[in-house]
């Protein structure tokens, strides 16, 4: 079967892998198609600043010789599909900066465990995707590579911190993008770029080399253009890893198989703003409320309901600040002049916290998890907006206001996703429409404890009902910044 390079870039990951398995195309065909697409669109969006095309071709040639195929019969086999890895995860022999001038010229000799797993499953690393410095921020920019722009409107941000991956997917540069998520770093960029981003349950995917190995706040996960593609990539990533004490075995039934036979949720809870505790743009609330009602077409009962968040905003900031102390305290002492102000603020806030404040935050986190457990005894799915605002000015580090309320810090627009991070529950962002200025809007869906299979089943049914996944990839479009509301 002959396909043009443009046709290859428009394939879903699932379709591309099927054609690779059938021998209709080769990994080298896809690498060539991706390389050409990257050359065409990268000047407009700056999503994949570090390429490793020759390394990718060498890997493809090994696979085509029959080498490195020991996982071919396992779920998540990618068969030579090119992927992007977020520039927070090491790739052996490839420049990896973590978005920091401190590591501007860093080239690791060993890959991160999740990268090793992806490559073992037949994924071919073709590029590193741009990220904010050390992944901290809701807009993707850093002093090493500059700003990543949104393909839907290049005057706008692609979000953070997996903004490079989201933009690359929307522009057709890659079929799958690896990312990480702490306060919404897979879900918010997916929302801004009209793709799909999944935050898995803590322990579902290895975090490998993190110093915060016993904290459930940050996770690694998949991003793609469709729910089925996210399920495929999750299968490639999931499973026990001896370098991460929180990991556990992958399920016997693959996530890709689960989305092929989806079961609709019976009871769906929708909340726009968790009872007013989370600021959300008015038009975003209206679009998401209407989209949530689509579950009624699937036979579900949809009700306005949500777990009580309690004082989770303060608890999250306290726990995140402690996380920054673990990861950045020593670096702050030696490289303060090369670290951006938001990271310094977050770390120093953590250093000022008392044991009693940390204890209170832990109690609040535990209480919220218990309330969420009780909530999911009554509901199969919790649905919220995927972000508090649509994409904002690419030159800003955060939106200035949300629903007319001025933000106090760079985390102010992340609470809608940070709330479910604290619940330690899997959540996925799926496209659900566009605002009056043509900016993508997404729906966040949250499932019960380790409930990725059911969550992805609900998400794929919603995706089919909305019919938006075929809108990407797009050629990057220029535009203006909409007025602040």
**Beta-carbon neighbour count of residue 110 at 10 Å?**
12
Residue 185 known to be catalytic: yes
CA–CA gap between residue 190 and residue 428 (Å, rounded): 9
CA–CA gap between residue 116 and residue 108 (Å, rounded): 13
8 A C-beta contact, residue 62 and residue 68? yes
CA–CA gap between residue 452 and residue 427 (Å, rounded): 8
Q: Which two tokens stand for residue 65?
A: 């010789």
Kind and range of the H or E element at 428?
strand 427-434
Phi and psi at 114, nearest 5°, equal: -70, -30
CA–CA gap between residue 118 and residue 74 (Å, rounded): 12
- Non-local (6+) Cβ contacts of 349 within 8 A are 317, 321, 324
Q: Which two tokens stand for residue 73?
A: 């019969």
Among 357, 345, 398, CA closest to 139: 398
The DSSP 8-state label assigned to residue 225 in this structure reads S
Residue 86 known to be catalytic: yes
Catalytic residue, from 86, 121, 128, 340: name it. Answer: 86
Catalytic residue, from 111, 129, 158, 185: name it. Answer: 185
CA–CA gap between residue 409 and residue 210 (Å, rounded): 25
CA–CA gap between residue 434 and residue 235 (Å, rounded): 30
CA–CA gap between residue 172 and residue 34 (Å, rounded): 8
Q: At what angle do helices 13-22 and 27-45 cross, to 10 degrees?
A: 150
Catalytic residue, from 129, 139, 158, 161: name it. Answer: 161
8 A C-beta contact, residue 119 and residue 110? no
Residue 470 known to be catalytic: no
Residues with a known catalytic role: 86, 161, 185
């Amino acid at each position: 079967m002959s396909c043009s390079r443009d046709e290859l870039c428009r394939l879903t990951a699932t379709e591309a892998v099927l054609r690779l398995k059938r021998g209709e195309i080769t990994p080298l065909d896809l690498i060539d198609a991706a390389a050409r697409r990257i050359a065409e669109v990268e000047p407009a969006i700056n999503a994949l600043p570090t390429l490793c095309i020759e390394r990718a071709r060498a890997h493809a040639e090994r696979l085509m010789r029959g080498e490195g195929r020991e996982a071919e019969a396992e779920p998540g086999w990618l068969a030579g599909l090119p992927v992007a890895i977020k520039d927070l995860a090491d790739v052996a022999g490839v420049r990896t900066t973590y978005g920091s001038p401190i590591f501007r010229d860093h080239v690791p000799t060993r890959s991160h465990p999740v990268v090793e797993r992806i490559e073992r499953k037949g994924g071919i690393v073709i590029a590193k995707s741009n990220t904010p410095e050390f992944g901290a921020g809701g807009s993707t920019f850093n002093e090493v590579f500059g700003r990543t722009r949104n393909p839907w409107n290049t005057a706008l941000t692609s979000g953070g911190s997996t903004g490079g991956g989201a933009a690359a997917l929307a522009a057709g540069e890659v079929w799958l993008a690896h990312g990480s998520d702490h306060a919404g770093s897979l879900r918010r960029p997916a929302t801004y770029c009209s793709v799909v981003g999944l935050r898995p349950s803590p322990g579902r995917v290895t975090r490998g080399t993190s110093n915060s190995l016993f904290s459930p706040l940050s996770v690694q996960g998949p991003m793609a253009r469709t729910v089925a593609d996210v399920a495929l990539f999750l299968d490639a990533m999931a499973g026990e890893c001896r370098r991460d004490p929180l990991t556990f075995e992958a399920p016997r039934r693959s996530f890709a198989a689960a989305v092929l036979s989806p079961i609709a949720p019976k009871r769906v809870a929708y909340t726009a703003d968790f009872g007013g505790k989370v600021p959300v743009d008015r038009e975003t609330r209206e679009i998401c409320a209407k989209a949530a009602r689509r579950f009624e077409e699937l036979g579900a009962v949809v009700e306005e309901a949500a777990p009580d968040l309690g004082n989770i905003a303060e608890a999250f900031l306290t726990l995140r600040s402690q996380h920054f102390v673990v990861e950045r305290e020593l670096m702050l002492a030696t490289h303060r002049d090369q670290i951006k102000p938001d990271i310094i603020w977050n770390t120093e806030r953590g250093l000022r916290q008392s044991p009693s404040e940390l204890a209170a935050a832990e109690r609040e986190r535990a209480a919220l998890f218990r309330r969420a457990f009780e909530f999911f005894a009554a509901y199969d799915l919790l649905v919220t907006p995927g972000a508090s605002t649509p994409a904002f000015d690419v030159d800003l580090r955060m939106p200035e206001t949300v629903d007319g309320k001025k933000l106090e810090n760079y985390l102010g627009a992340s609470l809608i996703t940070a709330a479910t991070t604290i619940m330690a529950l899997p959540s996925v962002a799926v496209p659900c429409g566009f605002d009056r200025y043509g900016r993508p809007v997404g729906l966040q869906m949250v499932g019960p404890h380790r409930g990725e299979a059911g969550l992805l089943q609900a998400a794929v049914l919603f995706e089919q009902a909305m019919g938006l996944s075929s809108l990407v990839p797009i050629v990057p479009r220029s535009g203006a910044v909409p007025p602040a509301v």
